[in-house]
Amino acid sequence: MSDPLLSIRDLCVDYITDQGPVRAVDRVTLDVAPGEILGVAGESGCGKSTLAQALLRILPPPAVISRGEIRFEGCDVLRLGEEELRTLRWRRISMVFQSAMDALNPVIPVGEQIVDTLVAHDAMDTRAARRRAAELLDMVGIPADRLDSYAHQLSGGMRQRTGIALALALKPSLVILDEPTTALDVIVERDILDQIRQLQRELGFAVLFITHDLARMLQVSDRVAVFYAARLVEMGPADEIRRAPKHPYTQGLLRAFPSLHGESSPQSIPGSPPSLESPPSGCRFHPRCDRAVPQCREEEPALLPLASGHSAACHLAE
Ligand code: SF4
């Protein structure tokens, strides 16, 4: 990989509770290259959204970054002051949240929200900002005459497209998409993901695409990182993971979604993710893994390289 845009090393995020720290992101190391789409997959509570919040340093209390390093475009994110963080957020890294309805202000027209962002962060005059806001809406497939619409006057798909326009307003080099299409029907979801991919090719930004839907992610991403119970358990090129996933959890996630051509029916992974307050010993997936051997209960597998940029944390991975 060329010099990474984003480099995360040994990152830990803890929730400080009366019973002690609960680790929500555990010793995660990964890179994102300029212009790359990295998918981050895993079930709810696996740490993927916490990781995104840590990158922007917007973790809600009582979560704290307890260890590790985050470097973005060469600068040490954990040492930035408030003013530098303000520049980092939106201008260099922006985020589209799960529910654009929650992220958009319901009492301000959507165009005005884009204008406000451009005026506040880009020192644009209002007239130029309004022209740019119309361009941004057009870029995501919303007619410019919706500039004066309120969020509740737009469909779910249009609200989410507006959230994407807002995220692209300041031409960031990384856009974090946190479950951007979860609340939408499959047709709208596919259109929006196609559009994100097209915009990413045209504008060259990198994407951290967070979702529980591994099958959907594989269609969009260049590389994929799979999380389980706060740990990164498999990482590799999307084609390689689609063709030959090595970790039994990744294999289970792939079986849990309908196949594109309907040749097999979905099968859920038995059991549920463990509590992070007291995760299982050894491999955290062992209580749900049909391939577990005695070693799995005692020894935690390290994330080891396999081939072609592919790595997995499983004692049985070749
Ligand atoms: Fe399953 Fe063992 Fe591999 Fe964990 S280390 S995924 S329990 S085979």
Ligand 1 pocket, residue 248 CB under 6 Å: yes
Q: How far apart are CA 206 and CA 167, in angstroms?
A: 12
Ligand 1 pocket, residue 312 CB under 6 Å: no
Q: Which two tokens stand for residue 38?
A: 């990295």
Instruction: Supply the pTM of this predicted model.
Output: 0.92
Q: Which atom of ligand 1 is nearest to the CA of 315?
A: 5
Ligand 1 pocket, residue 286 CB under 6 Å: yes
pLDDT at 22: 97
Ligand 1 pocket, residue 300 CB under 6 Å: no
Other beta carbons less than 10 A from residue 75's beta carbon: 12
- CATH 3.40.50.300 domain span(s) along the chain: 6-92+172-267
Residue nearest to atom 3 of ligand 1 (CA): 314
Ligand 1 pocket, residue 316 CB under 6 Å: yes
What's the Cα-to-Cα distance from 114 to each of 96, 137, 261, rounded to whole Å? 14, 9, 40
Q: Which numeric CATH code is attached to 6-92+172-267?
A: 3.40.50.300
Give residue-wise pLDDT tens across range 171-191. Answer: 999 999 988 777 677 788 888
DSSP β-ladder status, 37-41 and 206-211? parallel
pLDDT at 212: 83
Pocket test for ligand 1, best of 249, 314, 318 (most atoms within 8 A of CB): 314
Q: How far apart are CA 200 and CA 186, in angstroms?
A: 21
3-state SS, residue 132:
helix
Give residue-wise pLDDT tens across range 67-123. Answer: 999 999 999 999 999 999 998 998 899 998 877 656 789 999 999 999 999 998 887
Q: Which atom of ligand 1 is nearest to the CA of 293?
A: 2
Residue 295: partners with Cβ closer than 8 Å, 6 or more residues away? 282, 315
Give residue-wise pLDDT tens across range 11-57. Answer: 999 999 999 999 999 999 999 999 999 999 999 889 999 999 999 99
Ligand 1 pocket, residue 42 CB under 6 Å: no
Ligand 1 pocket, residue 292 CB under 6 Å: yes
